[in-house]
A and B are shown apart, each in its own frame.
Chain A
């Protein structure tokens, strides 16, 4: 299997703060890979580097063999990124927003229409897509944005806490969509989350990240048995606890 994401020794320093302290991991094609860790662990920073928004202080990262630092434009053609906090243009309707975003990826009307059609299905928002996005609830907006992220059939979907702050019904919908989309299209997904239940349900493999460092990597089952924990939450507490103790 091809490696879609390769991250080596990523370091990111902000003035007076080291957000990433040597992150290394790989994501295989078709995999759903989860980054889990407490607030401020460096999840968003890692994803932003991969999404070409910020540059690492040192280290290396590539997506499908393209260097995220030097081949930003090439990388942007392969990925689709759902930021942790994202909005849609408030004076566009959901449909207009989807069409606008799709037209950056495709040249012909037919492909654009195809992408919008698939987004309509993914979002499950139906008629409400005709309303201005300023009318949407948080959950609806998140569904629209996830649909936008997936509609362009990216090689790699980068989802930063796709369900945080949503109620059970919206979160449930989003999780199911992500899982089935990845399975149907063989899409590689890199996801960050606080929700261990979600991670256990979605992810083939996870990396536990704390204070800018990766502490453990493996499948949820492997990690659970390694730390003889009942669930991922226990595992997480044990691992993070060890890390802080050491």
Chain B
């Protein structure tokens, strides 16, 4: 590295690392936020599971008093339900669940109907207060329990009416065994669990990538504007250092920072993925997720890092080029405000769906945006579809070289001092 460039890079990196906005926003934030989110998901689901498996209180208005009613109450009590018997009219009873809770009404004649082979009706009232996940889980639990009780009734009816028969083969004559086929190998994992994991990965990665990209671009775009505003650029342009070295000093400086941010990100992302997949592991038993292809292979992470880095460098080159034309820091920031739109695009489109399902024209637009590739790469961690990623790396290299060429063009002429980005035409 030429001496002038080295001096400029050192100064640039020192300057950037001293800026708390950059240290916190680009390195600490992603390094902390993803593990924190993983932990938050674990804690909140954990405490939810704990709460929803505790005793469930059910108010019961028993107007029947027959044997079936007795059996229901007994069944519920055996299943960790606390029964509170209430009396009076049903209007009064319902007041009990005004603040949340469950009320079960067993109408008169229930036992008689069921025992005589007719259908009996019971009413369940779910009180809503907070509309929380816990309330809906309680409702799910209650209907699950009643389903279980119904099952017992059915089995009783079957063995009563069809002596010697196996109730199971009457209830479930068709045994459905679902498996997911991943990379040609059938795995004992439900398709719903699988898609959930894939979606979660495809969602979080891009979000963090976006934040880092935006910050890094601001760094690069403002780096020259800062020198203009502080009136240090004019001096810098007259010392014995080539213009290209000044430009590359800025680029290498912001790339160095971006690289640190990328490393922090990939580590945080790895941690996040492993923390949510470990949760899944425990919920589906001892399935080897790595062999299923759900824990991404190292080359997947390598590619993700590479595309992230590529996207950062191209974003920085673009930001630097545009920032060169800005008169001051505010100007540079507003330029970046516009360029940010194409960064959001791939993230938004790809978060919602797959590349293949999008209209061809939108696919083309997305493939033309360098920031699409890290998003694709974070999805390909699971799909293993690396081909578009590799093509994207080549594309990003060309994109970067081209924008850098433009930046050099601007920077080696006097436009860097006299040029200005104005949206209105100058009047002559």
Contacts and interface: CB of A to CB of B under 8 A. Distances in A.
Given A83-B231, A87-B231, A55 B238 contact: no
Contacts of A86: 231-232, 234-235
A55 B414 CA distance: 7
Interface residues of A, number: 32
B413 interface: yes
A48 to B, nearest CB: 8
Contact of A73 (B11, B15, B18, B242): B242
A86 B233 CA distance: 8
Contact of A76 (B15, B240, B414, B426): B240
Nearest to B428: A16
Interface residues of B, number: 23
A55 B413 contact: yes
Given A76-B239, A100-B11, A104-B239, A85 B418 contact: no
Per DSSP, are chain A's interface residues mostly helix, strand or loop, or mixed? loop
A88 B232 contact: yes
A242 interface: no
A123 interface: no
B237 interface: yes
A184 interface: no
B417 A54 contact: yes
Contacts of B238: 51-53, 76, 79-81
A91 B234 CA distance: 18
Given A15-B426, A105-B239, A107-B3, A54 B230 contact: no
B17 to A, nearest CB: 11
Contact of B15 (A51, A55, A79, A91): A91
A89 interface: yes
Given A15-B426, A54-B417, A104-B7, A87 B239 contact: no
Contacts, number: 71
Interface string B237-275: 111111000000000000000000000000000000000
Nearest to A14: B418
Interface string A96-114: 0000110111010000000
A107 B242 CA distance: 16
A130 interface: no
Contacts of A89: 11, 15, 230, 232
B46 interface: no
A80 B428 CA distance: 35
B237 to A, nearest CB: 5
A73 to B, nearest CB: 6
A87 B233 CA distance: 9
Contacts of B188: none
A225 interface: no
Interface in B1-56: 3-4, 7, 11, 15, 18
Contacts of A52: 237-238
B232 A87 contact: yes
Contact of A87 (B18, B230, B242, B417): B230
A90 interface: yes
Interface in B209-243: 230-232, 234-235, 237-242
A105 B240 contact: yes
A77 interface: yes
Interface string A12-56: 001110000000000000000000000000000000100111110
Interface string B412-426: 011001100000001
A77 B242 CA distance: 11
A90 B413 contact: no
A171 B428 CA distance: 38
A17 B4 CA distance: 36
Nearest to B412: A72
Contact of A101 (B230, B237, B239): B239
Which has the most chain A C-beta neighbours within 10 Å: B7, B240, B242, B428?
Answer: B240
B18 A103 contact: no
Nearest to B427: A16
Contact of A100 (B7, B234, B240): B7
B230 A90 contact: yes
Contacts of A85: 231, 234
A15 B231 contact: no
Nearest to A74: B240
Which has the most chain A C-beta neighbours within 10 Å: B232, B234, B414?
Answer: B234
A183 to B, nearest CB: 24
B426 A83 contact: no
B5 to A, nearest CB: 11
Contacts of B4: 104
A53 B237 contact: yes
Contacts of B414: 53-55
A14 to B, nearest CB: 7
A166 to B, nearest CB: 16
A66 to B, nearest CB: 12
Contacts of B428: 15-16
A186 B130 CA distance: 86
Nearest to B237: A53
A145 B11 CA distance: 18
B388 to A, nearest CB: 43
Nearest to A76: B240
A15 B238 CA distance: 24
A53 B417 contact: yes
A80 B237 CA distance: 11
* 8 tightest A-B CB contacts, nearest first: A54-B414, A87-B231, A16-B428, A81-B238, A83-B234, A87-B230, A76-B240, A51-B238
13 contacts: A15-B426, A16-B426, A73-B240, A76-B240, A83-B234, A85-B231, A85-B234, A86-B235, A87-B231, A89-B15, A89-B230, A104-B7, A104-B240
Given A54-B418, A103-B3, 7 more contacts: A15-B426, A48-B234, A51-B237, A76-B239, A86-B231, A86-B235, A87-B231
Interface of B: 3-4, 7, 11, 15, 18, 230-232, 234-235, 237-242, 413-414, 417-418, 426, 428
